[in-house]
Amino acid sequence: MNDAAASSPTATPAEPGEVGLVSPRDYHHHAPFTFDNGRTLPAYTLRYETYGHLNAARDNAVLICHALSGDHHCAGIHSLDDPKPGWWNNLIGPGKAVDTNKFFVVCANVLGGCQGSTGPGSLNPATGAPLALAFPDVTVRDMVRAQKNLLDHLGIASLHALIGGSMGGMQVLQFGIEYPAFCKRLLPMATTARASAMAIAFNEVGRQAILQDPEWRHGNYPAGGGPRVGLAIARMMAHITYLSDASMDRKFGRRLITSHTPSASPHFDPRFQIQSYLLHQAESFINRFDANTYLYITQAIDHFDLVNANGSPENTLAALQKNLSPIEARTLVIGFTSDWLFPPEQNREITLALLRAGKSASYAELATDLGHDSFLLESPRLYDLVRGFLDS
Amino acid sequence: MNDAAASSPTATPAEPGEVGLVSPRDYHHHAPFTFDNGRTLPAYTLRYETYGHLNAARDNAVLICHALSGDHHCAGIHSLDDPKPGWWNNLIGPGKAVDTNKFFVVCANVLGGCQGSTGPGSLNPATGAPLALAFPDVTVRDMVRAQKNLLDHLGIASLHALIGGSMGGMQVLQFGIEYPAFCKRLLPMATTARASAMAIAFNEVGRQAILQDPEWRHGNYPAGGGPRVGLAIARMMAHITYLSDASMDRKFGRRLITSHTPSASPHFDPRFQIQSYLLHQAESFINRFDANTYLYITQAIDHFDLVNANGSPENTLAALQKNLSPIEARTLVIGFTSDWLFPPEQNREITLALLRAGKSASYAELATDLGHDSFLLESPRLYDLVRGFLDS
């Protein structure tokens, strides 16, 4: 059952401190999966990677949960000339905060994703065309339940820890609620118990940019085509919400582009570096991401709600406390001072509700000026916190 | 020369405290106007409104400068069944903070605008088609110089005060620099000496949504048509940046829409009130605003720069001090704690530079949780500040 553990990463010696060469694998779940909305798929696939080795007790696994635009490739490289390692390579590796000499690290592209897992871009075997909107509405809880089947397949008896930021943090919390005894440590960061009106608002603008792009065609666009303009607009905007005023001013300020080939409407060509940076980010994103997945996953984020009640702050806290009460894991929530998308108070609130429920929970706040993306970026103080919590 | 002062508002008695019925007028400047970029228009029009009466000394005029999406109609109503008064009606009127019993209030749609002033939507007499991109790049300084001609036409000897928020605040500062002796009091609020990288980034996303809308057609779209989708996306996004997390949570939270007619793709129909609110805001905006004007004016905002230097905070402040040094007016800058588009520190910086230049300048910060739009909203504390400053 733990064939994946034995064979991934490959036998190629890793650089000291680096996971090195890794290969993604596919887990095929050959049984029906019923989504939260009642709809069923006859089977599904999750693409995943693992690093390190599962121990004999099968209790040293760490699940990494990715955010909206992330995927299963969170550490290592895919080829020797790969210019870019996995998205959390700074955190994960031999001797790193998530030490692959100690832990068996697993990361899967979520259900509904577009990097190899079943999602709206997957082909409908009945028609040969992408499922598109025939893919069921997916929730964070669906993502979590789908990943649990993979972990069972890998022979994991219990998770030493679950770590994730943003939507990854939502999965971490939901996992701890669904499978209390299975989860020993939860480490959600830069996350929220439920998206605020502002977070929903930004997601809605992104979705509208896609939905109203004439190339969207109600989701039935050809592979490689589709609402590239709408997806680019959605990404540019979202990217701003992951940064901060201070970090953008430091990195770009009002510095001008030094050379530039005029377009057909040079009046409005980019002049500031921040403009060309955003355009470049969007271009790179639309070449790797599927627009329908963007719609489904942002909606899953918006609908995620561990409070599920309106009313006073006290009512909110009481409802959150009740919904988090199944959790048995030790929990460390990390917030970042400059995160204005899922700001510190939303992370503190989770901890407060857990403490009121009598759980072992703590909150750490890291002072950064890098915005929501702080959790992804080089930070020895974050590494020390993660390492300490995993050793606890 | 002061015919406007005598005839506007109309003779219809105003409600106590209200400006009442007003009619816009057009100022036609029948002489060439050369823009900052060197291009010239043979003539231009500004649509404007006035309230109150110019005194014998011709020194009681208050100029109101509008923001990106504003216009000349800042107070009063256009007909007896007008459901909505001008955009700053809460501030301006008989006995209000800007007291039209004392002051002769003038407000003009900016050059480049789309509410009656000459802009990219104006017809090119040579072709009969809209100027579109034949309209020259416009700057905040161009807007100010065009308005000065109107004020001269109205016979105003000097301005008792200039008041404006956001881009209106930029105009107020620029006016004080261009015409030092003419401006007695400057009241810029919720503004900045130069747009930050983040502010430029948001404007760029809005412009790209328009520029990449296939209906934009390099600016040559038919009247009433054009990039309505792109303009709607731009507006939805910008609208979020004018609000705050707290105000949206209070007003909408995660409350659901109670009734809804499903669309052709009901998967992604709005479910939260914040979604339908944004869609409604966008729909209303695209019916009153021109997409090319949106491009020109956001670019004017991005290019506005009273620092015009890169470097350390000390260099920035020294450069700003130098550029503000022509100002002779007394200045009161007002910042709003929850404004994250042009945050308090950017407003404080203006004051600091003025004080270093030996000017009469002060800064007031109002604690609100309503975001950038705070300057437009009901606030007795703002009214008292404005009243006190105008009486000073």
- Interface contact flag, B275 A245, Cβ < 8 Å: no
CB A369, CB A244: distance < 8 Å: yes
CATH 1.10.1740.110 fits A200-300, yes or no: yes
Of B147, B111, B100, which Cα lies nearest the Cα of B5?
A: B100
The Cα of A248 is separated from the nearest Cα of chain B by a number of Å equal to 6
CB A348, CB A355: distance < 8 Å: no
B chain contacts of residue A347, beta-carbon cutoff 8 Å: none
Return the higher-pLDDT residue of A262 and B191: B191
- Interface contact flag, B198 A278, Cβ < 8 Å: no
Distances, alpha carbon B72 to alpha carbons B26, B109, B115, in Å: 11, 5, 8
In the prediction, which pLDDT does A380 show?
Answer: 96
B chain contacts of residue A274, beta-carbon cutoff 8 Å: 197, 200-201, 204
Please list, in sequence order, all residues whose beta carbon lies within 8 angstroms of the beta carbon of residue B289, skipping any fewer than 6 positions away.
B69, B114, B231, B235
B chain contacts of residue A253, beta-carbon cutoff 8 Å: 197, 310
The rounded mean pLDDT for chain B is 94
A chain contacts of residue B197, beta-carbon cutoff 8 Å: 245, 248-249, 251-254, 272, 274
Q: How far apart are CA B150 and CA B106, in angstroms?
A: 10
B chain contacts of residue A267, beta-carbon cutoff 8 Å: 133, 137, 295, 299
The Cα of B148 is separated from the nearest Cα of chain A by a number of Å equal to 26
* Whether pLDDT at B264 is above 90: no
What is the number of helices (H) and of strands (E) in chain A?
11, 12
* Whether pLDDT at A12 is above 70: no
Q: How far apart are CA B162 and CA B180, in angstroms?
A: 12
- Interface contact flag, A265 B214, Cβ < 8 Å: no
Please list, in sequence order, all residues whose beta carbon lies within 8 angstroms of the beta carbon of residue B137, skipping any fewer than 6 positions away.
A267, B35, B36, B37, B39, B296, B299, B300
Query: Which residue in A245, A249, A298 has the most chain B C-beta atoms within 10 A of its own C-beta, making it the best mutation to test that interface?
Result: A245
Domain boundaries, given as residue ranges, for chain A: 3-195+305-391, 200-300
- Interface contact flag, A208 B233, Cβ < 8 Å: yes
Q: How many CB pairs under 8 A join A and B?
A: 153
Q: How far apart are CA A84 and CA A318, in angstroms?
A: 44
**Residue in chain A lying closest to B252 (CA):** A197
Q: Which amino acid is at B250?
A: R
**What's the pLDDT tens digit per position in A40-90?**
999 999 999 999 999 999 999 999 999 999 999 999 999 999 999 999 999
Percent of chain B scoring above 70 in pLDDT: 96
Structure letter (DSSP) for residue B37: T
Candidates B197, B213, B270; nearest CB to A254: B197
* Whether pLDDT at B118 is above 90: yes
* Whether pLDDT at A11 is above 60: no
**What's the pLDDT tens digit per position in A155-210?**
999 999 999 999 999 999 999 999 999 999 999 999 999 999 999 999 999 999 99
**What's the pLDDT tens digit per position in A214-255?**
999 999 998 778 999 999 999 999 999 999 999 999 999 999
Candidates A133, A233, A274; nearest CB to B201: A274
The Cα of A232 is separated from the nearest Cα of chain B by a number of Å equal to 9
Candidates A137, A201, A237; nearest CB to B205: A237
Query: Which residue in B137, B138, B233 has the most chain A C-beta atoms within 10 A of its own C-beta, making it the best mutation to test that interface?
Result: B233
- Interface contact flag, B205 A253, Cβ < 8 Å: no
Domain spanning B3-195+305-391: CATH superfamily: Alpha/Beta hydrolase fold, catalytic domain (3.40.50.1820)
**What's the pLDDT tens digit per position in B233-244?**
999 999 999 999
**B165: helix, coil or strand?**
strand
- Interface contact flag, A133 B207, Cβ < 8 Å: no
CB B146, CB B29: distance < 8 Å: yes
Residue A128, CA atoms < 13 Å, CB-side half-sphere? 0
Just list the catalytic residues of B.
166, 339, 372
- Interface contact flag, B243 A198, Cβ < 8 Å: yes
Long-range Cβ contacts of B9-17 (<8 Å, 24+ apart)? B9/B50, B9/B51, B9/B76, B14/B76, B14/B93, B14/B94, B16/B94, B16/B95, B17/B93, B17/B94, B17/B95, B17/B96
A chain contacts of residue B253, beta-carbon cutoff 8 Å: 197, 310
Query: Which residue in B139, B204, B370 has the most chain A C-beta atoms within 10 A of its own C-beta, making it the best mutation to test that interface?
Result: B204
- Interface contact flag, B196 A233, Cβ < 8 Å: no
* Whether pLDDT at B4 is above 50: no
In the prediction, which pLDDT does A126 show?
Answer: 84
- Interface contact flag, B201 A302, Cβ < 8 Å: no
Residue B13, classified by CB atoms within 10 Å of its CB into exposed (0-12), middle (13-18) or buried (19+), is exposed
Averaged pLDDT for residues B295-314: 92
- Interface contact flag, A202 B237, Cβ < 8 Å: yes
Query: Which residue in A237, A292, A310 has the most chain B C-beta atoms within 10 A of its own C-beta, making it the best mutation to test that interface?
Result: A237
**What's the pLDDT tens digit per position in A252-274?**
999 999 887 888 878 899 999 99
**A143: helix, coil or strand?**
helix
Q: How far apart are CA B59 and CA B102, in angstroms?
A: 11
**Residue in chain A lying closest to B253 (CA):** A197
- Interface contact flag, A133 B267, Cβ < 8 Å: yes
Percent of chain A scoring above 90 in pLDDT: 89
Residue B170, classified by CB atoms within 10 Å of its CB into exposed (0-12), middle (13-18) or buried (19+), is buried
Token readout for A71 is: 């995927």
Which ipTM score applies to this complex? 0.93
Token readout for A41 is: 């798929």
pTM (2 d.p.): 0.94
Query: Which among A71, A290, A339, A373 is annotated as catalytic?
Result: A339
Token readout for B306 is: 């009273």
The Cα of A305 is separated from the nearest Cα of chain B by a number of Å equal to 9
Residue A304, CA atoms < 13 Å, CB-side half-sphere? 31
**What's the pLDDT tens digit per position in B66-109?**
999 999 999 999 999 999 999 999 999 999 999 999 999 999 99
**Residue in chain B lying closest to A204 (CA):** B275
- Interface contact flag, B248 A201, Cβ < 8 Å: yes
A chain contacts of residue B229, beta-carbon cutoff 8 Å: 212-213
Q: How far apart are CA B45 and CA B242, in angstroms?
A: 29
Residue A141, CA atoms < 13 Å, CB-side half-sphere? 13
Token readout for B289 is: 């605003």
* Whether pLDDT at A14 is above 60: no
**What's the pLDDT tens digit per position in A290-299?**
999 999 999 9
Task: State the sign of the Cα–Cα–Cα–Cα dihedral A9, A14, A17, A21.
Answer: negative
In the prediction, which pLDDT does B164 show?
Answer: 98
Of A320, A300, A302, which Cα lies nearest the Cα of A310?
A: A320
**Residue in chain A lying closest to B137 (CA):** A267
In the prediction, which pLDDT does A259 show?
Answer: 80
Distances, alpha carbon A284 to alpha carbons A235, A371, B204, in Å: 10, 21, 17
Same fold, B3-195+305-391 and B200-300: no
Q: How far apart are CA A258 and CA A272, in angstroms?
A: 9
Please confirm whether the linkage preceding A326 is cis (ω < 30° from 0).
no
**Residue in chain B lying closest to A219 (CA):** B265
Token readout for A302 is: 């918006």
Candidates B198, B211, B271; nearest CB to A265: B211
Long-range Cβ contacts of B209-216 (<8 Å, 24+ apart)? B209/A209, B209/A233, B209/B233, B209/B234, B209/B237, B210/B234, B210/B291, B210/B294, B210/B295, B211/A265, B211/A268, B211/B295, B212/A229, B212/A232, B212/A233, B213/A229, B213/B291, B214/A214, B216/B291
The Cα of A202 is separated from the nearest Cα of chain B by a number of Å equal to 7
- Interface contact flag, B248 A278, Cβ < 8 Å: no
Task: Look up A280 and say whether it is catalytic.
Answer: no
The Cα of B337 is separated from the nearest Cα of chain A by a number of Å equal to 15
- Interface contact flag, B198 A243, Cβ < 8 Å: yes
- Interface contact flag, B197 A240, Cβ < 8 Å: no
DSSP string, B213-274: STTSGGG-PPTT-S-HHHHHHHHHHHHHHHS-HHHHHHHTTTPBPS-----SSGGGS--BHH
**Residue in chain B lying closest to A220 (CA):** B265
In the prediction, which pLDDT does A343 show?
Answer: 98
